[in-house]
Amino acid sequence: MQPSETNWAGNLAYRAGAMARPSSREELLAALAGEGELRVVGSRHSFNTITDTAGTLVSAEDLPAGIEIAADRRSVGLGGGVRYGDLAVELARHGLALANLASLPHISVAGAIATGTHGSGDRLGSLATSVRALTFLAPDGAERTYRRGDEDFAGAVVHLGALGVVVRVELDVEPAYQVVQTVFESLDWATVVENFDAVTGCGTSVSLFTSWGGTGGVDQIWVKDRADAPAGNAAAVLAGLGARPADGPRHPLPGGDTRASTEQLGLPGLWSERLPHFRLAFTPSSGDELQSEYFLPREAARAAIARVQALGPRLAPLVQVSELRTVRADDLWLSPAYGQDVVAFHFTWRPDQPAVEALLPELEAALGEGVRAHWGKLWQLDPASVAGGYERWDDFVALQRRHDPQGRFVNDFLRRLGL
């Protein structure tokens, strides 16, 4: 283990005693052998200690990709270390697509699923809702596969890395489609709140960017619409509310390099080149940032926006940019969208972790009751209240104990939650 082993943002130096980078099943089994704690990392795009361990840290990056299209062209199988961007390239080669993507194509499929990470859209579920099957490898070499419809499948998909090493994932796919992306600017919060359903429903995927300072409103509205099934007339809706189309390409971060952003200005393009905010060929930032994200029931979002607005003077010095977007409800036990449509409040912070963590309790109080935190980002909520926010939490605890009775995949982060 080298001291340089950190997460993507560099705010966490892993304390593991050993680092394994297996490139085959045999090497993976060797890394899992013996005793002691085990955790798995993919693209390392987590900002808290969810993947940290005092034992062995296993990187899935070098495991075989193993991307295979099913004969009926309705699903794709892949290995545990594959990134969304690389999967998208292969699917596009076969004229296929996923229903949704996150803003970063650089993240690993297995890692995004494990934490309930999401894309955006009133009618789109999180990335985990496309999972058809998931195979876990135990330290003794035993495999356990869960398929959609199996008992406990809904508990195994968003698993926090506590059920073993994901060695195989099967996802739904569909025929490739085109997406049009347009950015609009300058809409005041009062108008957004009053017309919230119209704004978030005016495209297949809609993101609202703000700094919670400056003009005091929404600075940019990114609308991504499927060309084969447009969700709404974004130009008419947003122009009617007073927003104006951007006169050139934009980056979500004020002053950011627009070359890293996916194509805008209403130019149609392949799903994989429009649904993310950023191009796979560019690193969207140097990692010189921190992130938090919170999910609120959709019906609670309007009131929460007003309370967060009031915190603007406290937030503005630390916020690089904040993004609001919606996610459809699902039935996955530990998904932040379990049982309810949600609005995600995302915060990209300046890299001052003590100041950010000191402010988070105030922000969390402003967001209000019923808030769920992104499993892999910074939050200061009471761990007992976090677990208590998921009605199937006790069922997941029982599932984890059956999978891993010795607790080898449980670390301090998970123990604080009650595993």
* Residues 182-212: tens digit of each pLDDT: 999 999 999 999 999 999 999 999 999 999 9
Q: Is the pLDDT of residue 1 over 60?
A: no
Mean pLDDT of the chain: 94
Q: Is the pLDDT of residue 272 over 60?
A: yes
- What average pLDDT does the segment 380-392 reach? 94
The predicted structure's pLDDT at residue 4: 58
- What average pLDDT does the segment 133-138 reach? 96
Which residues of the chain are in CATH 3.30.70.2520 domains? 178-383
The predicted structure's pLDDT at residue 282: 79
Please give the CATH number for the structural domain made up of 68-176. Answer: 3.30.465.10
- Is the pTM for the entire model greater than 0.75? yes
Q: Is the pLDDT of residue 109 over 90?
A: yes
The predicted structure's pLDDT at residue 409: 97
- What average pLDDT does the segment 116-126 reach? 95
What CATH fold (topology level) applies to the domain 178-383? Alpha-Beta Plaits (3.30.70)
- What average pLDDT does the segment 393-401 reach? 97
Residue 286: pLDDT band (50, 70, 90) is low
Residue 381: pLDDT band (50, 70, 90) is very high
The predicted structure's pLDDT at residue 184: 97
Residue 3: pLDDT band (50, 70, 90) is very low
Among 3-12, 80-89, 135-144, 330-339, the minimum mean pLDDT is found in 3-12
Q: Is the pLDDT of residue 287 over 90?
A: no
- What average pLDDT does the segment 250-278 reach? 92
The predicted structure's pLDDT at residue 256: 87
Which residues of the chain are in CATH 3.30.465.10 domains? 68-176
- What average pLDDT does the segment 339-356 reach? 97
Residue 281: pLDDT band (50, 70, 90) is confident
Residue 214: pLDDT band (50, 70, 90) is low
Nearest Cα to 251, choosing from 323, 343, 356? 323
- What average pLDDT does the segment 18-26 reach? 95
